[in-house]
Amino acid sequence: MLLEIFNFLHFVGLAFGLGGATIAAVISSKAGKDKDIGKVAGKIMLPIIKLIWLGIIFLIVSGIALSLFIKWSINKQLLIIKHILVAWIVIIGVVIGIRSKKKKDIRGLSKINLILWYAVTLMSAFV
């Protein structure tokens, strides 16, 4: 029963993180091209950023719990790579938060973060 709950939370965390990162990348891309969108992007981004962080928290907590409940063998090398990518997502997220006033830095880091989210999602199919 707990295995199913943590597995569900893991997928919810993945959906929140990937969905939020995708929406954030689209909004920041549009905000760079349209000044009207740029003016309201800060207000729009705050709940999206909270959604992404909630997804990361769900992934980390459920990932730790899943490692305790899983009885079958898993590809440990792929899991380590996935953990490293999630750590980079967190680090880049913190850097984006710190540099939120420099728009050009954020756009590049946002794209890198989005690519990492898609890589983690793809790897989740195999781990």
Domain residues for the domain of 120 are 2-124
pLDDT digits (tens, 9 = 90+) for 30-86: 877 887 877 787 788 889 989 999 999 999 999 889 888 887 787 888 888 999 999
- What's the domain count of the chain? 1
Confidence of residue 29 (pLDDT cuts 50, 70, 90): confident
pLDDT digits (tens, 9 = 90+) for 89-117: 999 988 887 877 666 567 788 889 999 99
Q: What is the DSSP letter of 75?
A: -
DSSP labels for 46-70?
Answer: HHHHHHHHHHHHHHHHHHHHHHHH-
For residues 65-89, one letter each, b for 16 or more C-beta atoms within 10 angstroms of the residue's C-beta and e for the rest, the string is bbeeeeeeeeeeeeeeebeebbeeb
Which has the closest alpha carbon to 55: 113, 104, 105, 125? 113
Residue 82 token pair: 């996935």
Residue 36 token pair: 């009207």
